[in-house]
Homo-oligomer: A and B are copies of this chain.
Amino acid sequence: MAPEQPQRFAEGSPRVLVAGATGFAGALAAQLLWRHPGFELAGITGRSEVGRTLQELYPRYRVPLRIAELAPDSLEGLDAVLVAYPHAAAAPTVALALERGARVIDLSADFRLRSLATYERWYGPHPRPELLELAAYGLTELHREAIAGASLVANPGCYPTATLLALAPLARAGLIADVVVDAKQGISGAGRAFDETTHLSMAGENILPYKVAAHRHTPEIEEQLVYLDPSKPDVTVQFQASLVPLDQGEQAACYVTPTRAVGERELAELYGAAYDDEPFVELAERPPGTREVLASNYCRMFAAADSHTGKILVFSSIDNLWKGTSSQALQNLNVMFGQPETAGLA
């Protein structure tokens, strides 16, 4: 193996630390930053594995930096911190980083919901509720402007990302009377958890719905739908997730009962208007398999009107670890620091 090559970021690039780099999401974010021409990966921290290189933990990523403990002074001199901790554990670190003057992207659920009451119903007491009002919701295509100016960006969950991109054109047009979302995801969505849901001899050759009628991503989706269509403040979403035996990949199948009849042409115009200029949303001519977006920041979707039932169907595919989590964080970082939105991602 050749000696380490130098990082290839430009002189004077913003310095970014990844807090929580041992899990799937933080590790991938660190690797993407390591290869990014416009950011310096200033450090990686973890609550375990301290002293080991990321390369030792994830040989594929070939990042030679060592995991450090997160000490307050590791937050000095940074331009941004990407926090990849579980919910509730994230908020205190977010607060600390903000105090030190860094801008923050938080991958947890802690700042995704506007409503404190909703948060506490699903997650328990909020550690730092006073920061909620600072947060921009980090679904880039829907909140680009707010993200550009925000000190704190709450990166969305992977299910809301796929679902909201699929539904946004219909919601904005006030067309959603009722909606069922059946989402399927690969096993990486369960993270590094070692249990029945991830064991190959149990998760393999299986299709497993989970969290029936009680998925934490439902309120996140509903809040954003109200943002997109404030005329329907009581919208409810029937959201259901299933694990299927693959590694990375996620698809939301959305079954919309429209408020009025919508034909193929109108549908094409709505989606074209929303996404023709988006660098990371692709409109396909048939339902996109998740392989088509594997290891990429793309969301690929297909919308159709069913003349038999009158419903509108939208199929939206992403890589749950990329556009669903870590590469969308990089997309947001690009937006926050004035870099080309596709930098390091194309």
Contact = CB atoms under 8 A, between A and B. Distances in A.
Contacts of A317: 207
B238 A255 contact: yes
B204 A247 contact: yes
Contact of A313 (B210, B212, B315): B212
Contact of A59 (B2, B24, B300, B313): B300
Given A200-B245, A238-B255, A291 B194 contact: no
A100 B20 CA distance: 55
A1 B276 contact: yes
Contact of A245 (B246, B253, B286, B300): B246
Interface stretch (A91-99, A130-138, A147-155, A176-184): A176-184
A28 to B, nearest CB: 12
Given A204-B200, A242-B184, A209 B1 contact: no
Contacts of A209: 251, 253, 287, 315
Number of copies: 4
A244 to B, nearest CB: 4
Interface stretch (A224-232, A302-310, A331-339): A302-310
A99 to B, nearest CB: 35
Interface stretch (A10-18, A40-48, A64-72, A277-285): A277-285
B207 A244 contact: yes
Nearest to A1: B282
Contact of A309 (B2, B236, B245, B306): B236
A55 to B, nearest CB: 10
A205 B247 contact: yes
A52 interface: no
A143 interface: no
A343 to B, nearest CB: 12
Residue of A199, A203, A208, A278 ringed by the most chain B CB atoms within 10 A:
A199
Contact of A199 (B199, B212, B286, B342): B199
A173 interface: no
Contacts of A182: 180, 182, 253, 255
Contacts of A187: 199-201, 204
Interface in A148-201: 178, 180, 182, 184, 186-188, 192, 194-195, 198-201
A115 interface: no
B308 A218 contact: yes
A258 interface: no
A193 to B, nearest CB: 8
Residue of A276, A288, A289 ringed by the most chain B CB atoms within 10 A:
A289
9 contacts: A194-B194, A194-B199, A199-B199, A201-B247, A205-B205, A206-B249, A213-B307, A213-B308, A244-B244
User: What are the 4 A-B residue pairs with the smallest beta carbon separation, nearest first?
Assistant: A194-B194, A182-B182, A59-B292, A213-B306
